[in-house]
Chain A
């Protein structure tokens, strides 16, 4: 591996001046674009939280107001999927740690593995859907199945978005194009991934407690 890239990762040169001082906080305008990306991510997560809060309130209200709710027989594979998703988050964190200490090969290994587990999670979710379908449980069968399909699909869309970010970073890393400018992409995509991971845990609790 060319040593210049490694040393760039360890000691990135100062980012260019971008003009954003955040109201005079820093002595110069450096790093505004990275800060803006972080803020943008937080704002995006807030919007996602609101959308899922709306789904959750609909879930709880719909469950409470009527007597036609039948508990959903949750496919077992969902538990495996949960473990896969949690493991992928752990791998991404290990990848970030490797990057911080300059171990590029370690980063590539962990990040690729984490991304692969993300894909595996989606496949597992699809299997769960197929199993439900085989058991004769469709979207309109019962409100509990409506919500299960809806929430797993909405979550799956976020997984897809997160996966495309992970793959973008992975391709850049494997092609040795992960320059210092892409450190933000690494952090933002990993943080988004942890968020959808946490979101999945929340949904599991929702299904188990109220489903």
Chain B
């Protein structure tokens, strides 16, 4: 057996193989990232249209009529169109942004480098996974432009409405079919991605990279991949059943004797609740698919910019694992309203509360990491701190919603909208921003502008609180969600100024994102050249040039001797020890190490 030799692999030549159908995990990661950027622009525009409509339900807008000749006749948005916007906003944001960027984007780019591998385990599968996701997005966006209008059953697509077909009204024809097809394709793509992530982490770690030396980012990508694997398989199965109900006349989810548009349906005996169980068995883990990678990035960044080891590394790992495990046992808390037995509701409630324990461990350890640290307030650090803030705020309202008695009141109000946007939406988005500012130098070889970044941070941070905090009060006041127009209800009249305020806040927050896009694209071309390790970080991606060469380590096989977060170790020559530093870098090793 010969010793490992230096054997660098060279990138393929030619635009198509290098940038389009690339097998390189870094290019695929960037492709996913830009797919998510496109999707977030679409999703955000839809939310602005919704917020506009809520405040000006009677407004006539000429280009609405042009864009949707039937759904916005004369420029006035119909309630159905509003529901379509809501459905597409939720779907695009959840699947093509929150699932795509943190896991498939950053994970694809940095997982192999952080574990010291040349690429993912199955590069062809990786490429297929991206292009399948791309097709899913194209199909989803196509649903905007089909006869009958875009789907309007919400991102949860509850039957019977979603299972009947064109008879059920606008958007229930081809639009809804495309929605299910797109999600089924997306499930396939996610399964391919999950197989790749899990095999890569288990088998391709470099010498010395034991499980307890994995950066927390890798742990979160690993657990997220497992959640995606188990969750998307179930959603795929449920989607197939729903398609059959719509097109083959089966009755899995459609009950008997339904009268729709003056016609009695021939379906009989199905159960809409069956869909809810299958959907939320996927749907709840999906929440953690969105947030876990953000937790990983936050841990990485808080430790780096506090110049301190992460507080309680093992506790963090076990917390990630238990969040993933418990995430599969709480789907019923989305269904307290369904008339389930109070005993089941209590069981789901207790399990839901139990997730508070690992979540609190994580928050406690983040604060413990900050405590007494030499904090560097970079933009990445600000967004990571913002993540912690939003995670706590969003988590606290979850404790209310986890109580069946309270949820019966809150369930169909803006309280829920405020809750899930805080914790699943903006917290995860802040994780992506943090990751972008932290890893941009590595990905594009240049630094982002810190001043623009901080302005963007402060306004976004205040903006999202201004948008989503009032929603909790609206919910307590009984403001229902999913309504397109509140002007006709006396008891909601006094709340309209709050809606107006939220709409203004949404405009402002959306506008400041332009600054982020300017910063992103300007820095790609004109930013200051980034050194190899601009943040004095410890993990493997900072041992290679920015941007990394095609095979990441130039044919070398890195050997890891240290844990991922060895900052400010007494006796070390610098205030950080890279994972690849020699074992004896510390003259007198401290008593504790990972």
| Interface residues, chain A, with chain B CB atoms under 8 Å away | 14, 17-24, 27-30, 32-33, 35-37, 39-40, 43-44, 46-55, 57-58, 61-62, 65-69, 139-140, 143, 146, 150, 154
The answer on a CB contact under 8 Å between B229 and A51 is: no
**A22: chain B residues within 8 A (beta carbon):** 202-205
Pairs A–B under 8 Å by Cβ, sample size 18: A17-B2, A22-B203, A24-B205, A28-B4, A36-B121, A39-B198, A43-B199, A50-B230, A51-B233, A54-B234, A54-B238, A54-B281, A55-B241, A66-B271, A69-B269, A139-B250, A146-B248, A146-B251
Instruction: Give B340 Cβ to nearest chain A Cβ, in Å.
Output: 13
The chain B residue sitting closest to A46, CB to CB, is B229
Of B1, B203, B268, B557, the contact of A39 (CB 8 Å cutoff): B203
**Interface contact B250-A140, CB-CB below 8 Å:** yes
Asked if A139 and B249 sit within 8 Å, CB to CB, the answer is yes
Partner of B244, one of A48, A51, A146: A146
Contacts A44-B195, A46-B230, A143-B269 given; does A36 touch B204 at CB 8 Å: yes
A50 touching B229, Cβ below 8 Å: yes
Does the CB pair A62–B271 fall under 8 Å?
Answer: yes
Q: Is the CB of B557 within 8 A of A19?
A: yes
Question: A139 to chain B: which residues have CB within 8 Å?
Answer: 244, 248-250
Further contacts, 13 of them, CB under 8 A, given A54-B237, A140-B249, A143-B269: A19-B118, A23-B205, A32-B204, A39-B203, A43-B195, A49-B233, A51-B233, A54-B238, A57-B278, A66-B270, A143-B250, A146-B248, A154-B240
CA of A23 to CA of B208 in the docked complex: distance in angstroms?
5
- Measured between C-beta atoms, what is the minimum distance from A101 to chain B in Å? 26
Q: Tell me if B204 and A19 are in contact (CB < 8 A).
A: yes
Task: Scan residues 189-248 of chain B and give those whose CB is less than 8 A from a CB of chain A.
Answer: 191, 194-196, 198-200, 202-211, 213, 229-230, 232-234, 236-238, 240-241, 244, 248
Given contacts A20-B205, A54-B233, A68-B269, contact A146 B210 (CB under 8 A): no
Contacts of A20 in B (CB 8 A): 117, 121, 203-206
Please report B residues at the A interface, Cβ cutoff 8 Å.
Answer: 1-2, 4-5, 116-118, 121-122, 191, 194-196, 198-200, 202-211, 213, 229-230, 232-234, 236-238, 240-241, 244, 248-252, 256, 268-271, 274, 277-278, 281, 557, 560
Residues of the A chain whose Cβ atoms lie less than 8 Å from the Cβ of B118: 18-19
Which residues of the partner chain B approach A30 to less than 8 Å between Cβ atoms?
A: 1
B1 surroundings in chain A (CB, below 8 A):
14, 27-28, 30
List of A residues within 8 angstroms of B251 by Cβ: 140, 143, 146
How near does chain B come to A195, taking the closest CB pair, in angstroms?
A: 14
- On whether A21 and B248 interact (CB within 8 A), knowing A28-B4, A58-B274, the answer reads no
- Is there contact, CB below 8 Å, between B249 and A24? no
Are A36 and B200 neighbours in the complex by a CB distance under 8 Å?
A: yes
Instruction: Note all chain B residues with C-beta closer than 8 A to A68.
Output: 256, 268-269
Cα A133 to Cα B256 with chains together (Å): 24
| Residues A24 and B233 in contact, CB atoms below 8 Å apart | no
- How distant is the Cα of A166 from the Cα of B336 in the complex, in angstroms? 48
Q: A19-B116, A54-B238, A68-B268 are in contact. Are A47 and B248 (CB under 8 A)?
A: no
> Cβ of B557 and Cβ of A29 under 8 Å apart?
yes
Q: Which residues of chain A are within 8 angstroms of B195 by Cβ–Cβ distance?
A: 40, 43-44, 47
Chain B residues with CB below 8 A from A27, complex form: 1
**Chain B residue with Cβ nearest A30:** B1
Does B229 contact A43, Cβ atoms closer than 8 Å? Answer: yes
- Known contacts A47-B230, A61-B274; is-contact A24 B203 (Cβ 8 Å): no
Contact across chains for A19 and B250 when beta carbons are under 8 A apart: no
- Indicate which residue in B199, B205, B233 contacts A50 across the interface (CB closer than 8 Å): B233
Query: By the criterion CB–CB under 8 Å, are B117 and A19 in contact?
Result: yes
Q: Is A143 a contact of B191 with CB atoms below 8 Å?
A: no
Contacts of A54 in B (CB 8 A): 233-234, 237-238, 278, 281
**Contact present for B237 and A58 (CB under 8 Å):** yes
- How far is B199's CA from A23's CA once the two chains are assembled, in angstroms? 13
Task: Return chain A residues, CB-CB under 8 Å to B211.
Answer: 23
CA distance A23 to B205 in the complex (A): 5
Query: How far apart sit A143 and B252, CA to CA, in the bound complex (Å)?
Result: 7
> In the docked arrangement, what's the CA distance between A17 and B237, Å?
40
A14, A23, A52: the one within 8 Å of B210 (CB): A23
Q: Would you call B4 and A17 a contact (CB within 8 A)?
A: yes
A87 CB to closest chain B CB, in angstroms? 29
CA distance A21 to B202 in the complex (A): 9
Contact assessment for B240 and A150 in the assembled complex, using a CB-CB cutoff below 8 Å: yes
Q: How far is the CA of A51 from the CA of B241 in the complex (A)?
A: 11
* Cβ A32 vs Cβ B249 within 8 A: no
| Chain B residues, Cβ within 8 Å of A19 | 4, 116-118, 204, 206, 557
Q: Considering only CB atoms, which chain B residue lies closest to A65 in the complex?
A: B271
> Are the CB atoms of A40 and B122 closer together than 8 Å?
yes
Chain A residues within an 8 Å CB radius of B560: 24
Q: Verify A21–B205 contact, CB threshold 8 A.
A: yes
Per CB-CB distance, the 9 closest pairs between chain A and chain B, nearest first, are: A140-B249, A54-B237, A50-B233, A66-B269, A20-B204, A36-B121, A36-B203, A68-B269, A23-B205
Chain B residues in 8 Å Cβ range of A67:
269
In the bound complex, what is the Cα–Cα distance between A33 and B195 (angstroms)?
14
B206 cross-chain contacts in A, Cβ below 8 A: 19-21
Min CB distance, B119 to chain A, in Å?
Answer: 9
CA distance A68 to B256 in the complex (A): 10
Contacts of B196 in A (CB 8 A): 40
A51:B236 contact, CB within 8 angstroms = yes
